Amino acid sequence: MRTEQIAAILLAAGASSRFGEDDKLMADLRGKPVIAHTLGTIASLAFGHLIAVTRPQEQAPVVHRKLERRGFTILVNDRPEDGLSASIIQAVQHVQTLRNCRGILICLADMPLVPQSHYNRLCIAAQDAKSVVASTDGFSPSPPAFIGRSHFPELLGLRGDQGARALLSRGEQIETRGHYLRDIDTPEDLTSA
């Protein structure tokens, strides 16, 4: 599927509780904040829409500025404690109003190592609005993942912090190097990245 028919959804509302006092998305990775790597890669592709779900601006002012500069529509999740599903639901509710959007590509802001080529492979593998295409390290499905518009009702019923894992397990899986799919949750994760 052409990227122009897809809304890229960047999930960035987490509280960084396992990272300690600092915001993991602003932690330095090779001279740039973690989120700068992720949003730069996503924004370099020709997606029809760039949407980010994040914390309120007063909690993440620099993140908001970086997203605005790259052309993201920002949705604020006031209740990130409700888990990843709350951010996905908020994004899907927004995307449902976009007529030219055939699906979403769910991306995690704390996955800075995913290369542009992998995002492209996921989009190319998506055939239509019924497609589900997940990433995998060869063991389990994970984001980034494409989910077609026909699955939006199922996404709107999600609860908790598991996200769309059950749906992803039923879809096609595109294998890539495991370290690309590593997310930054702890200072140790950042060091090994």
Alpha carbon distance 60, 67 (integer Å): 11
Question: What is the reported pLDDT for 52?
Answer: 97
**Cα 149 to Cα 69: distance, rounded to the nearest angstrom:** 28
The pLDDT of residue 81: 77
Domain total of the chain: 1
Domain that holds residue 181: 3-192
Q: Which amino acid type is present at position 108?
A: L
pLDDT greater than 90 at residue 16:
no
Question: Which residues are CB-contacts of 139 (< 8 A; sequence separation ≥ 6)?
Answer: none
pTM to 2 decimal places: 0.92
Across the beta sheet with 172-175, the strand order is: 73-76, 49-54, 6-12, 103-108, 141-148, 132-136, 172-175
For residue 185, the domain's CATH number is 3.90.550.10
As a whole number, mean pLDDT of residues 128-150 equals: 96
Give the list of residues 6+ apart from residue 100 with CB closer than 8 angstroms, or none: 5, 48
